[in-house]
Structure 1
Amino acid sequence: MTTVREAVLDLLRAFDMTTIFGNPGSTELPLFLDFPSDFDYVLGLHEGVVVAMADGYAQARRNASFINLHSAAGVGNAMGTIFTAYKNRTPLVITAGQQSRSILPFDPFLHSAQATELPKPYVKWSCEPARAEDVPLAIARGYYIAMQPPCGPVLISVPADDWSRACEPVEARRVGKLLRPDPDVMAEIAGALDAARRPAFVIGASVDRDGAWDDVVQLAERHKAGVWVAPMSGRCGFPEDHRQFMGFLPAIREKIVSMLGGYDCIFVIGAPAFTYHVEGFGPHLPPGAKLVQLTDDPQVAAWAPVGTAAVGSISLGVRELLARASPPARELPAPRAPLPRAEPSSPMSVAYVLQTLAEVRDPASIVVEESPSARPVMHKYLPMLQSETFYTMCSGGLGYSMPAAVGVALAKPQSKVIGLIGDGSSMYSIQALWTAAQLKLPITFVILNNRRYAALTEFAPTFGFKPEDPLAGTDLPDLDFVSLARGHACQGIRVSDPAKLAGVLREALASPVPILVDVEIA
């Protein structure tokens, strides 16, 4: 026999999960009695920051992260980033403290009345074990569920007095994954690609998540397909300087149909077909086009409005297609028109800032982005060229990427991480600067400061706003990011002169500790 605490710690060692992300409360303290020397505790100053850090860490390591939250209050604070982790398909094992079992009948202070219901529907599974002895089994089950594609968060509620109870040890098991797509459906997809005169690939976040970058490039080259990125993709799955790269699809039905016009077979790989953000009308595909899809998410396959879908591993599915005979000869699609250079101005344009960042950064550096209004410009002026060098949120919920940059930097200590964050986005999770500073992580936070929620201003015409119409609640004057950085023990510098931008960025990117660069833009 052992204790629940020791059994859980042994399981975490076996699962290679010896970093715990949390913000502790009273009901969690028994877990940390005699905290073991082979574990690390990463403290976040808000539960939303905690989950986003763990999300970035899990994605970069390709393994679940372990999180400890405080009862209902902590889970409630974290729900925004739990939602994002669910949309990101990130494996997380979340434990939430609960009051001692003996006082639960009396609705004690800081208990969670319906602990398993609170995080739903944005966890794959949740459980409060019926007995203390069952806690290690529940955590093991949660890990296996979290790691099954499509991956995602799980939550286990643990009463405070459970950790010291006696239990039997639980041995970590090897749990395989049902991954191979249906061979008959894959044969149909292969036939459609071979029969196409002008195929297009639409690449989603699951390509990079499943390690299929190189295979997808090879398959696209074999078929001479034009390659697009799916709307709202949280990862990059294709080199954006490639001859066959065509660009990014918007989350608007009519525009997707227009941009894919002329293609007769559209192969959606690791993405929904399609993610929409505004109401649309008419067909989902151009006239005469056939849609085929490879996804690791059966729900995505089920709600796709058209086409044939195979469900399974992106990597295995693409390799199966590569194993087939070569398709008929085709011509390459016409290349994209070259972009004009962005010129310096005062205040600087987003295009000039991102063009400069692209020129001074190492292409192997990792960009963790959350600046919704700047993303279309980033797609043009800050291309992603290598696998696992881009992360953002698939949910649209703000507050993810600044702490996620901390998690990615923890997981990849030899890589330079750039947090490219809007001024509005940064204020959802500015506390992440403190953790980055305490851990001395080499992150360069670049704040694109336009003093407003610019994405709302740009989106307003969709709902009938005219340029001259006032838009309440979108101005953000008087935020001093240099002072905010210093207040979190992080270096900060402001730049408004375009002639100084490249030098400031070079110096910041060379820093071995975190630094914030506040860039004033138009």
Structure 2
Amino acid sequence: MTRKNAGATTTTVRGAVIELLRSLGMTTVFGNPGSTELPFLDRWPADFRYVFGLQEAAVVGMADGHARATGNAAFVNLHSAAGVGHALGNVFTAYRNRAPLVITAGQLARALLPNLPFLGASEAASFPRPYVKYSIEPARAEDVPAAIAHAYHVAMRRPRGPTFVSIPADDWAAPCRPVPARAVSQDVAPDPALIADAARAVAAAKRPVLVVGPEVDEEGAGEAMVALAERIAAPVLAGPFSARLSFPEDHPLFAGFLAAAPQAVSDALLPHDLVLVVGAPVFTFHVGGDAAIFRSGIPILHLTTDEEAAASAPAGTSILGSLRLALPALAAALPEAAGRTPPPPRPRPAPPSPAHPIPAAYLLHRLHAALPEDATLVEEAPSHRPAIQAQMPMRRWGSFLTMASGGLGYALPAAVGVALARPGRRVLCLIGDGSMMYSPQALWTAVQHRLPLTVVVINNAGYGALRSFSRVLQVRDAPGIDLPGLDFVSLARGMGCPGVRVTRAEELDAALAEAFRAEGPALVDVVVDPAIPTLYERA
């Protein structure tokens, strides 16, 4: 209800927040409610969509996928204290993914807070730190709408990420003034002098190489990235553990993927006389080793929107600023690539052969053949990533998402969020059997919304990454690696999702075709050979 008071328009906190969300284009709300959220949910507006998830980590993962697919912040409504605790794994992942989220959580009434009430959070704003960009429990009820507006703009500023607002339950009915939506610039131009210096260095190099990361796709700067690479006429490598498509993987200049190991990165880059890193850290590592590239004296130029990535780079010159602005500026400052011969296209692997048990590479080869042209792949099968990269080359900007954190439990709910953001377009969730057990509740939400979601479980009966690292670290007989007795088809059917189990290569094509034809979600559990390459071997 809105009313006039002494010449000024007033409303309730709830009314002001609803109008603010409407004006910011956040009319889809992801939530798992409790008693402290009911005042917000009262008389739910007809033009808002409430996406109900059965567990808070799944809810945050859905919102993350939706935000990354739409480019706008997603609004999340969690339950107080323990509910936020359940969500924190995927809050960390959203932070690493640079996914813009405005996360709110209920809190007990203000009058109860001094006496440590049941369900109350005595340090609500501290709970999700440091993996949110902004966190607050407003001092007064009337400050809540402005705090949410603040959280939105911080979430959307690059590098994007999650924010958090704790809201006592009795604040929603308090009177306040509306908070109008404002325009706040999201992009900052790079230093022109540094761009000019970079152009001179690139032009002088005889054997440059480009290392490209997820910020390019995140900013919608893909075409500018391709134009720059073609102007330089240099090979392009995807940065380690890139969480989005970095460069079209069928482009003649694409030279493959860097592994997250210092020795492997150095071996790939040392033959070059200049390294241009665009939209990726310098560099993401997962194992130890000698990073000789940092002692080589080879110039490293770094274009990024991420202040922390720029500050933490151990070598080179980092140029902060929007890639949407930096890439065309650098291309315009470059002369034609006279005399520089483009590298030969990289060889493609031969198609894998069927066998029993099914090789994971064969599954991925057939899956790529069956995948609809406009589909989005959301992946969480890290131990199979070299085989995925070899057998499923991605070509379209926006067509691939995975988690940047390494934390499990992201892909299935994120795929639900992507499907909600892209109505009518097929989404493929490619997920390991271990990963599948972290947020299986998201299947229920997919069923309720009849989403065109195909879930393919790569079932090797264990944690493949641990098997791989056990070989690397020469660890034997470690517990907690094997996962016997899981029935994913029964799990899916119990939530209303049809499923089929595939154990023979000759059954695979028909099962995949049927799952992609399904009007709603469908699951295919594929039992594969448990033997996988070491994580940093190429498939």
TM-score band, normalised by the shorter chain?
A: over 0.9
Q: Deviations over 1:146-177 (max 9, x none)?
A: 10000010000000000000011111111113
Q: Partners in 1 of 2:253 and 2:470 — Cα distance?
A: 34
**What amino acid sits opposite 2:502 in the alignment?**
V
Task: Report if the CA contact (8 A) 2:294-2:314 is conserved.
Answer: no
Work out whether 1:331 is the aligned partner of 2:341.
yes
1:386 equivalent in structure 2: 396
TM-score normalised by the chain length of structure 2: 0.95
1:73 equivalent in structure 2: 82
2:266 equivalent in structure 1: 257
Which of residues 449, 455, 458 in structure 1 aligns to 2:468?
458
2:293 equivalent in structure 1: 284
Which of residues 404, 408, 428 in structure 2 aligns to 1:418?
428
Q: Partners in 2 of 1:391 and 1:348 — Cα distance?
A: 25
Work out whether 1:343 is the aligned partner of 2:353.
yes
Indicate the SS of the match to 1:134.
helix
Pairwise CA distance, 1:480: 0.4
Which of residues 411, 419, 440 in structure 1 aligns to 2:450?
440
Task: Report if the CA contact (8 A) 1:56-1:408 is conserved.
Answer: yes
Mean Cα displacement is larger for which, 325-334 or 108-117? 325-334
1:150 equivalent in structure 2: 159
1:514 equivalent in structure 2: 521
Work out whether 1:500 is the aligned partner of 2:507.
yes
1:357 equivalent in structure 2: 367
**What amino acid sits opposite 2:356 in the alignment?**
S
Q: Partners in 2 of 1:17 and 1:340 — Cα distance?
A: 46
Pairwise CA distance, 1:414: 2.9
Q: Which runs of 4+ in 1 moved over 3 A?
A: 284-288
**What amino acid sits opposite 1:316 in the alignment?**
L
Q: Partners in 1 of 2:131 and 2:175 — Cα distance?
A: 32
TM-score normalised by the chain length of structure 1: 0.98
Task: Report if the CA contact (8 A) 1:8-1:136 is conserved.
Answer: yes
Q: Partners in 2 of 1:241 and 1:415 — Cα distance?
A: 22
Pairwise CA distance, 1:312: 0.9
Q: Partners in 1 of 2:295 and 2:143 — Cα distance?
A: 54
Work out whether 1:298 is the aligned partner of 2:298.
no
Pairwise CA distance, 1:363: 3.2
Work out whether 1:375 is the aligned partner of 2:382.
no
2:407 equivalent in structure 1: 397
- Correspondence 1:94-493 to 2 at 5 A: 94-285=103-294, 287=296, 289-324=298-333, 325-465=335-475, 469-493=476-500
Q: Partners in 1 of 2:473 and 2:366 — Cα distance?
A: 34
Pairwise CA distance, 1:290: 1.4
Q: Deviations over 1:462-508 (max 9, x none)?
A: 3232xxx2121000011001000001110101111211211211121
Pairwise CA distance, 1:295: 0.5
Indicate the SS of the match to 2:417.
helix
Indicate the SS of the match to 1:71.
coil
Q: Partners in 2 of 1:244 and 1:13 — Cα distance?
A: 44
2:56 equivalent in structure 1: 47
Q: Partners in 2 of 1:99 and 1:340 — Cα distance?
A: 61
Task: Report if the CA contact (8 A) 2:233-2:337 is conserved.
Answer: no
Identity percentage over the alignment? 50
**What amino acid sits opposite 2:88 in the alignment?**
M
Pairwise CA distance, 1:374: 0.8
Q: Work out the number of aligned pairs and report it.
A: 519
**What amino acid sits opposite 1:407 in the alignment?**
G
Task: Report if the CA contact (8 A) 1:194-1:328 is conserved.
Answer: no
Q: Deviations over 1:438-482 (max 9, x none)?
A: 1000000000000000111101233232xxx21210000110010
Q: Deviations over 1:73-112 (max 9, x none)?
A: 1110000000000000010000011000011111110001
Indicate the SS of the match to 2:526.
strand
Mean Cα displacement is larger for which, 448-457 or 215-224? 215-224
Q: Deviations over 1:318-375 (max 9, x none)?
A: 0111222323331111322231220000111110000001112123211000001111
Indicate the SS of the match to 1:217.
helix
Q: Deviations over 1:365-386 (max 9, x none)?
A: 1100000111110010011011
Pairwise CA distance, 1:282: 4.3
Show structure 2 runs of 5+ residues with no match. 1-9, 530-539
Indicate the SS of the match to 1:284.
helix
Show structure 1 runs of 5+ residues with no match. none
**What amino acid sits opposite 1:210 in the alignment?**
E
Task: Report if the CA contact (8 A) 1:363-1:385 is conserved.
Answer: no
**What amino acid sits opposite 2:330 in the alignment?**
L
Task: Report if the CA contact (8 A) 2:269-2:293 is conserved.
Answer: no
Task: Report if the CA contact (8 A) 2:270-2:293 is conserved.
Answer: no
Q: Partners in 1 of 2:291 and 2:176 — Cα distance?
A: 60
Q: Partners in 2 of 1:505 and 1:44 — Cα distance?
A: 27
Q: Partners in 2 of 1:344 and 1:192 — Cα distance?
A: 49
Distance 1:314 1:54, change over 3 A: same
Q: Partners in 2 of 1:350 and 1:193 — Cα distance?
A: 40
Which of residues 8, 30, 46 in structure 2 aligns to 1:37?
46
Task: Report if the CA contact (8 A) 1:262-1:286 is conserved.
Answer: no
Q: Deviations over 1:10-55 (max 9, x none)?
A: 0000000001100001111100111111111101110000000000
Indicate the SS of the match to 2:83.
helix
1:7 equivalent in structure 2: 16
Work out whether 1:61 is the aligned partner of 2:70.
yes
Indicate the SS of the match to 1:405.
helix
Pairwise CA distance, 1:264: 1.0
